Copies of this chain bind each other. A is one copy, B any other.
Amino acid sequence: MNTQEQMAHIGQAAKQASRQLARLSARKKNSILEAMAEALEAHRTPIQTANAKDLQAGREAGLSSAMLDRLELNDARIDSMIKGLHDVAVLNDPVGDEIAAWNRPNGLHISKVRAPIGVIGIIFESRPNVTCDAAALCFKTSNAVILRGGKEAIHSNLAIANALQEGGEAKGLPPNAIQLVPITDREAVRELCRMTDYLDLIIPRGGEGLINAVAEMALVPVIKHYKGICHTYIDATAKLDMAWAIAENAKCQRPGVCNAMETLLVHQAIADDFLPTMGERLQAAGVTIRGDETTRTHIPSAQAATEEDWFTEYLDLTLAIRVVNDTEAAIDHINHYGSGHSDAIVTQDTESEKQFLAEVDSSSVYVNASTRFTDGAEFGMGAEIGISTDKLHARGPMGLEELTTYKFIIEGTGQIRPSLKHKKS
């Protein structure tokens, strides 16, 4: 079989599995998740043997120590996958939940009910724990999943997927509900992106290059988890202590993640009071500052920011700072340069707050808090398959509900539509 045939085979099998998954009760699914957790425990040795093979190959291929670290499945990381399965088992199963229901004058009862999406493709990069986390969330929502991980983790990923499928099958998991694509060339990704007959959704997880490539190739709908150019705007009425603490936290608490702040906007009226101390605190924390002209009068050691800086996701201890005329200018900056991820206003003025919340076009808009809270667990959603920067279907942290669609159920007692009598559109 060539790659195309092999991928079609995987797609057909997943579609078949998805029909059977639609028949499983929540209780049954939870017992299967528990069985998967036991199987991971039982397969700890083969998984770590497979992982050692990947690590060896990675070292030979000259992978960076950061990449080798992401690849490694030590005991703590296997424990964490096992815990993840238990955690997903106890979450509410959204499939079958009624979103709304109403009666029509003709006696029809209509309800809108959550249903599985069908077959979901997950395309991801080096961390092998994604195999387990993504499979658990897709299965919990009765979706079949096709996983396509990075070449460098192929042995680890196959070992995990096999353990989950094998362990689950003993308790009634349909065959091929969890499949890992064993083909490591790019052609397999291309096929996956175009299999509209079998796939209902693709979620790419990884760097900008991967996400752009998938979006460009895809005929199957894609939900993207793209970059986070997050802003904090310090309004004229902000409490200074709160503003300093929030800005420092948003930048420094974990600079390498998508919900960390990349640009700080400051109302001109508060710049005098706010910026000098802010500059000192940031520099003490090791932050390199790139500022506009006004900023540099208050923080003389700052470098000059260029147009490019406003568009940049540093993912590092670097911060762009700009002084703006008013809240409207801050909103315009965010909507123009931002990525629609997470943006905050620090203010004591309810009018500014209202305007900021209504007009900033981002998935998560904050008042008086750090943008670092954009996260499924921090939002209390229980589990997260990623953070969508798209606007359709799912926006912001994606939990179990976002892995479902809905259907309309219409219950009647023989209702038919009256005849048209020569009615013309």
**Residues of A with Cβ closer than 8 Å to B?**
19, 22-23, 69-70, 77, 96, 102, 104, 108, 110, 115, 117-118, 200-201, 215-216, 219, 221, 223, 239, 242, 245-246, 248-250, 253-254, 332, 335, 357-359, 361-370, 372-374, 378-380, 390-393, 395-397, 405-417, 419-420, 425
Most buried by B among A216, A242, A362, A417: A417
Q: Are A368 and B406 in contact (CB under 8 A)?
A: no
**Among candidates B253, B368, B416, residue contacting A246 with C-beta atoms closer than 8 Å:** B416
Asked whether A366 and B22 contact (CB < 8 A) given A118-B361, A118-B391, A361-B118, the answer is no
Q: Are A245 and B416 in contact (CB under 8 A)?
A: yes
Asked whether A200 and B358 contact (CB < 8 A) given A369-B412, A410-B366, A412-B366, the answer is no
Q: Are A380 and B104 in contact (CB under 8 A)?
A: yes
Asked whether A414 and B369 contact (CB < 8 A) given A23-B358, A70-B425, A405-B392, the answer is yes
Asked whether A253 and B419 contact (CB < 8 A) given A22-B361, A408-B364, A412-B366, the answer is yes
Q: Are B370 and A415 in contact (CB under 8 A)?
A: yes
Q: Are B405 and A391 in contact (CB under 8 A)?
A: yes
| CA distance in complex: A414, B363 (Å) | 20
- With CB as the reference atom, state the residue of chain B lying closest to A253: B417
- With CB as the reference atom, state the residue of chain B lying closest to A99: B99
Q: Are A379 and B413 in contact (CB under 8 A)?
A: no
Enumerate 16 A-B pairs (CB-CB under 8 Å) in ascending A order. Answer: A23-B358, A69-B425, A70-B425, A77-B425, A104-B378, A104-B379, A117-B391, A200-B391, A248-B416, A254-B417, A357-B409, A363-B408, A365-B407, A369-B415, A369-B416, A372-B417
Q: Are A413 and B368 in contact (CB under 8 A)?
A: yes
Q: Are B369 and A407 in contact (CB under 8 A)?
A: no
- With CB as the reference atom, state the residue of chain B lying closest to A215: B219
Most buried by B among A249, A373, A420: A373
**Among candidates B365, B406, B417, residue contacting A410 with C-beta atoms closer than 8 Å:** B365
| CA distance in complex: A253, B418 (Å) | 8
A-B pairs with lowest CB-CB distance, top 10: A369-B412, A249-B416, A393-B393, A242-B414, A392-B393, A391-B405, A369-B415, A372-B417, A364-B408, A370-B416
**Among candidates B104, B253, B392, B420, residue contacting A117 with C-beta atoms closer than 8 Å:** B392
A366-B411, A368-B414, A370-B416 given; 19 more Cβ-contact pairs under 8 Å? A19-B359, A104-B379, A108-B373, A110-B379, A110-B380, A115-B361, A216-B219, A245-B414, A245-B416, A253-B420, A357-B409, A369-B411, A369-B412, A370-B415, A370-B417, A373-B415, A379-B408, A396-B407, A396-B408
- With CB as the reference atom, state the residue of chain B lying closest to A369: B412
Q: Which residues from chain B contact A373 at a C-beta distance below 8 Å?
A: 108, 410, 415, 417
- With CB as the reference atom, state the residue of chain B lying closest to A216: B219
**Among candidates B201, B216, B380, residue contacting A392 with C-beta atoms closer than 8 Å:** B201
| CA distance in complex: A335, B197 (Å) | 12
A339 to chain B, nearest CB (A): 12
Asked whether A407 and B395 contact (CB < 8 A) given A23-B359, A358-B22, A412-B368, the answer is yes
Asked whether A390 and B104 contact (CB < 8 A) given A366-B410, A410-B373, the answer is no
| CA distance in complex: A277, B414 (Å) | 18
Asked whether A411 and B367 contact (CB < 8 A) given A391-B117, A416-B245, A416-B253, the answer is yes
- With CB as the reference atom, state the residue of chain B lying closest to A412: B369
| CA distance in complex: A311, B250 (Å) | 55
A127 to chain B, nearest CB (A): 8
